[in-house]
Amino acid sequence: MIDLSIVIPARNEEFLGLTVQDLLENIEGNTEILIGLDGYDKPVPDIPQDPRVKVVKADVSIGQRAMTNRLVAMSTAKYIVKVDAHCTFGKGFDRILMEDMQEDWTLVPTMRNLHAFDWVCKKCGNYWYQGPTPTHCMKDYKHPVLNEACDSTEFERKIVWEPRRGTRNNFYRFDKDLHFQYWRDFEKRLDPTWELAETMSIQGSFFMITRKKYLELNICDEAHGSWGQQGVEVACKTWLSGGKVMTSKKTWYSHLFRTQGGDFGFPYENNTVTQARKFSQDLWNSPFEQLKVKFPQAIHDLKWLLDKFSPVPDWEFTKGILYYSDCKKEDWQVKPFRDLLKRANHDRYRIVSVTLKPLSFGDNITLPLERSFLTMAKQILTGLKELNTDYVFFCEDDVAYSSSHFDFVPPKRDVYYYNMNCWQVRDTDGYAVYFDAKRLSQICADRKFLIDHYEKRIKRIDEAGERGEIIGSGFAAKMGYEPGTHHRPERVDDFKAEGWRSEVPNLDVATSSGDRKSVV
């Protein structure tokens, strides 16, 4: 009974033989090696003959995922390791990983960079680091530059085949576009003595999983396309189905990175990566709908994973506050609201104020305009463009905002969100009423989404004015002041509005014109 099947999907891989030989020299367990030659249109390198090695061929390329699945279907082992065909390995890596492996884990060892070969000039003997086939002699090893003293056009490769010193990677993540990222800083969060630790994602060139879980989770879903997004797919399927993705520092492998193009590039068409990423973004609903996923085995959502590893670079959404006022009220009436807003914000988010008179509040922009519906739209658009954040909260000068109001994160980028937990208060006697209403002062939404809305709004108001329509009580009022809240023909767009409720309510205070103090 085989304990571990190492599967190697390979297309035009010139170092396949060296990889297999390295495996045979370093495996110590009851391990077999399954190789899939995926439509080679270049010479197939010599593969060591060994009873532990089995080879299958596809005359026409079927894709990396499909070939991996074909190899896994051949296996009867408890564990599967998928590995690229250009790697070296630590002694006994298979035994070491199997000793720690658990049923619901995906496990990866430390990854190092593989120094596979150097180029050597046959004429002058200069040599330089691996890369595409050269056309000129080079004189600088690490950063090759043209060697003008040598006119040779004949070069040969000198095989090195060892890990580069100092290159060790243990932790990985992905950004909002689900693009792979190294995460070296994550290790700073851990006890320095760690040997096994959780990682948000993997690189994709090596991973171990049980064959049962591989099949159950459809780990190489061919709907992604030929290749690309392997690390995100494996990590998300493992984590969100209730498992763990783990890194072991007890052993290592080294991987050859071929990112320089030419004949030192990827063996599969690189345009398939775009297809895979689009499919992946739809599957995990990223970045617009972090609260839902379409993977049927998921018991968690993507936000759960982000919260688990929080803070995750590129995923910490930035928020800003847009304060706008026509400055018609007396300052004693509205200053308490500004002071409360400062306290509620706790200096968490930048405040941009756009007013019709200079105001010492946040980063102030003063517009030399008269109060009007069009002016208010221009104030809002000006502030939106100044903020440069992911999301924006609108704040008005007569609303008392709670701190919990600013905890909200919109789950979708193309929806207008309104805090429905807002009470209307009369300042003369503190009488308060509540009714369901979506108020502009309670909106939070994607900043770019709002910019698009207000650019269209201003353009339509200008066009209405050119037609001679009444802007104040006429066309502008019919447009509605709260985006997404009605279906009249004059509406700006067809996007929807949804509500949320903060833990503590906001107070929309009707301030009087007398000398009495505000209820705030």
Quickly list DSSP for 24-69.
HHH--SSEEEEEEEES--SPPPP----TTEEEEEESS---HHHHHH
Q: Mean of the pLDDT values across residues 354-371?
A: 96
* Torsion 292-294-295-298 (CA) sign: positive
pLDDT tier, 288 (very low <50, low <70, confident <90, very high otherwise): very low
Residues belonging to the chain? 520
Count of Cβ atoms closer than 10 Å to residue 178 Cβ: 22
Q: Which of 158-162, 192-196, 306-310 has the lowest mean pLDDT?
A: 306-310
C-alpha–C-alpha distance, residues 107 and 154, integer Å: 44
> What's the fold here for domain 4-308?
Spore Coat Polysaccharide Biosynthesis Protein SpsA; Chain A (3.90.550)
Torsion of CA 128, 130, 134, 136, to 10 degrees: -10
Examine the pLDDT at 430 and tell me if it is beyond 90.
no
What pLDDT shows up at residue 197?
98
Query: 30-34, 273-277, 484-488: lowest mean pLDDT where?
Result: 273-277
Reported pTM: 0.68
CA separation for the pair 164, 183 (Å, rounded): 19
Distance CA 89, CA 172 (A): 20
Looking at residue 41, its pLDDT comes to 83
Report the C-alpha gap between 491 and 479 in whole angstroms: 5
Q: Is there a cis peptide before residue 311, judged by omega within 30 degrees of 0? A: yes
Instruction: Return d(Cα 190, Cα 297) in angstroms, integer.
Output: 30
pLDDT in tens, 227-274: 889 999 999 999 999 999 999 999 999 999 876 656 676 676 666 778
Measure the CA–CA gap between 52 and 62, rounded to whole angstroms.
24
Residue with tokens 């209820």: 519
Answer with the residue of higher pLDDT: 150 or 41: 150
The CATH class, in words, for 319-510 is: alpha beta
Contacts for 48 with CB less than 8 Å, ≥ 6 apart: 17, 20, 21, 24
Strand partners, 325: 355
pLDDT of residue 307: 83
pLDDT in tens, 32-67: 999 999 998 888 889 999 999 999 999 999 999 999
pLDDT at 356: 97
pLDDT of 368-419, one tens digit each? 999 988 899 999 999 999 998 989 999 999 999 999 999 998 888 889 999 9
**Model confidence band, residue 118 (pLDDT cutoffs 50, 70, 90):** very high
Instruction: Give residue limits of the domains in the chain.
Output: 4-308, 319-510
Closest to 15 measured CA to CA, from 250, 189, 264, 220: 264
The DSSP bridge pattern shows strands 399-400 and 443-446 to be unpaired
Task: List, in sequence order, every residue forming a beta bridge with 254; answer none if it has no partner.
Answer: 88, 112
pLDDT digits (tens, 9 = 90+) for 64-114: 999 999 999 999 999 999 999 999 999 999 999 999 999 999 999 999 999
